[in-house]
Amino acid sequence: MARATLTIDLAAIAENWRRLATLCAPAETAAVVKADAYGLGVARVAPALWAAGARTFFTALPEEAATVREVLGPAAALYCFNGMAPGDAALLRAFDIRPLLNSPGQIAAARAAAAGEVSDAPLRCGLQLDTGMNRLGLEADELAAVLDDPRGLDGLAPDLVISHLACADDPADPMNAAQSAAFAAMTAHPRLSRLRRSLSATGGALLGPDWRHDLVRPGIGLYGGLPFAEAAPVVRLSVPILQIRAVAAGEAVGYGAAWRADRETRVATISAGYADGLIRAMGGRARVFHGGRALPALGRVSMDLITVDVTEAPGLAPGDALELLGPRQTIDALAGAAGTIGYEILTSLGSRYARRYEGGEAIPLAER
Ligand SMILES: *Cc1c(COP(=O)(O)O)cnc(C)c1O
């Protein structure tokens, strides 16, 4: 095969969800499946999470949530972080998606949509609050204005109030406590007393019981990324060697002749590049594995190719595969070489790989 293979371990995703669910109980552990389940394929990932026990799912966009509805059927609770635009009401109703309303404008749009409908069932939704990240969500004064207006939520049936932590991957960051206090103060209003509360994604869920409220919203931890250090690895990326050549001392390899041999070097050219999400900025800092042996990438990453120094692995031949992601090199390790985060490695993984899913048959907890 001249094509790289991306293997996605659905059993590992299910296991990571269970570990977090056990840790966070009695809080509910939901699952964040935005951006096509962090690039891993929501049509396969969402059913594996459902089989593991997840019942509440979050996406960014209403359209993404509609896909989850088609995959999971009517019983899942679906929320979208980005809330709604005025034109989204029909989609939200048709697919029973709860937008997390983010601003007075979104609340007004949701009320107008509900008022203009034939159905007099209130529109199910949630509220998203800004507690210091200044990205999405109602400010304290905006929330107070809505709640102090007896008609401020007419036509709406909110059942969840969320906010999001900016620095939860660093337990020592004082921003965590400041945001937690702001969340407590903003949600103390009696009109919010029957709504469920959710502050934490993966990082916050790991900070401890005080951060878990009624529901936690992990994404990256399900997919094997930090800050969930105990996560089982989920992806393996195996890239075949197309050619191996001997490069004499003084010869150059790749674009810009950016690498030059200072001794005779065996160079393998492997079949994946930046068009496959192998970020060009990692250049010669990346490592590629043959069994337990780390082999250094050299020169620049091309669109479709990467060159690797295989001098130390003399048995290799064209057609053999080298591993770029797997237990020996996690998404976070590769991210380190590229100056980014595991999230970006996952969501950049391209569409050219042969994708293999394994572990799709969910094994009930009792039988593990
Ligand atoms: C993406 C996102 C999450 C999940 O975050 P992870 O760090 O991947 O666990 C949770 N909540 C919100 C609002 C998000 O945007």
**What is the DSSP code string of 66-84?**
HHHHHHH-TTSEEEETT--
CB 220 near ligand 1, within 6 Å: yes
Distance 209 CA to ligand 1 centre (A): 18
Q: Residue 94 in contact with residue 123, Cβ under 8 Å? A: no
What confidence score (pLDDT) does residue 364 get? 45
| Cβ-Cβ contacts under 8 Å for 270 (sequence gap 6 or more) | 4, 239, 240, 241, 242, 288, 305, 306, 307, 308, 322
Q: d(Cα 50, Cα 222) in Å, to the nearest integer?
A: 13
The answer to whether 280 and 301 have CB atoms below 8 angstroms apart is yes
User: ω before 233 within 30° of 0 (cis)?
Assistant: no
pTM of the model: 0.95
In eight-state DSSP terms, residue 329 is: B
Walk along the chain (368 residues) and give the pLDDT tens digit of each residue: 689 999 999 999 999 999 999 999 999 999 999 999 999 999 999 999 999 999 999 999 999 999 999 999 999 999 999 999 888 999 999 999 999 999 999 999 999 988 877 667 899 999 999 999 999 999 999 999 999 999 999 999 999 999 999 999 999 999 999 999 999 999 999 999 999 999 999 999 999 999 999 999 999 999 999 999 999 999 999 999 999 999 999 999 999 999 999 999 999 999 999 999 999 999 888 999 999 999 999 999 999 999 999 999 999 999 999 999 999 999 999 999 999 999 999 999 989 999 999 998 644 444 43
Among the atoms of ligand 1, which is closest to the Cα of residue 136?
A: 13
CB atoms closer than 10 angstroms to residue 351:
9
Other C-beta atoms closer than 10 Å to the C-beta of 148 total 10
Q: Using the mean position of ligand 1's atoms as its centre, give its distance from the Cα of residue 81 in Å.
A: 9
**Are 30 and 216 spatial neighbours (Cβ–Cβ below 8 Å)?**
yes
Which fold does the domain 10-223 belong to in CATH?
A: TIM Barrel (3.20.20)
**Could you give the C-alpha distances from 345 to 229, 235, 278, in angstroms and in order?**
17, 11, 8
Q: Known catalytic residues? A: 34, 255
CA of 300 to the centre of ligand 1 (A): 33
Query: Is 219's C-beta closer than 6 angstroms to any atom of ligand 1?
Result: yes
Token pair 């969340």 in the structure block, residue: 183
Residue identifier of the C-alpha nearest atom 3 of ligand 1: 201
Strands 321-325 and 259-260: unpaired
Give the C-alpha separation, 252 to 255, whole Å.
9
pLDDT in tens, 15-31: 999 999 999 999 999 99
Q: Could you report how far apart the first and last alpha carbons of the chain are, in Å? A: 35
Is the CB of 218 inside a 6 Å radius of any atom of ligand 1? yes
| Single-letter residue type at 67 | T
Structure tokens at 6: 């991306």
CA 242 – CA 258 distance, rounded (Å) = 21
> What is the per-residue pLDDT for 363?
46
Q: Domain extents for the chain?
A: 10-223, 235-358
Atom of ligand 1 nearest to the CA of 205: 9
Which has the closest alpha carbon to 272: 59, 24, 3? 3
Q: For ligand 1, atom 1, which residue shows the shortest CA distance?
A: 219
The answer to whether domain 10-223 and domain 235-358 are alike in fold is no
Q: Give the type of residue at 1.
A: M
- Spell out the CATH class of 235-358: mainly beta
Buried b (16+ CB within 10 A) or exposed e, 224-238: bbbbbeebebbbbbb
Distance 316 CA to ligand 1 centre (A): 41
Ligand 1 binding pocket includes 81 (Cβ within 6 Å): yes
Q: Find out whether 30 and 58 touch, Cβ atoms under 8 Å.
A: yes
Rg of the chain taking only CA atoms, in angstroms: 24
Contacts for 109 with CB less than 8 Å, ≥ 6 apart: 84, 85, 86, 89
273 lines ligand 1 (CB under 6 A): no
The residue type found at 86 is P
CA-CA distance, 293 to 326, in Å (whole number)?
13
Q: What is the DSSP string of 268-328?
A: EEES--GGGT--GGGGGG-EEEETTEEEEEES---SS-EEEE-TT-TT--TT-EEEEEBTT
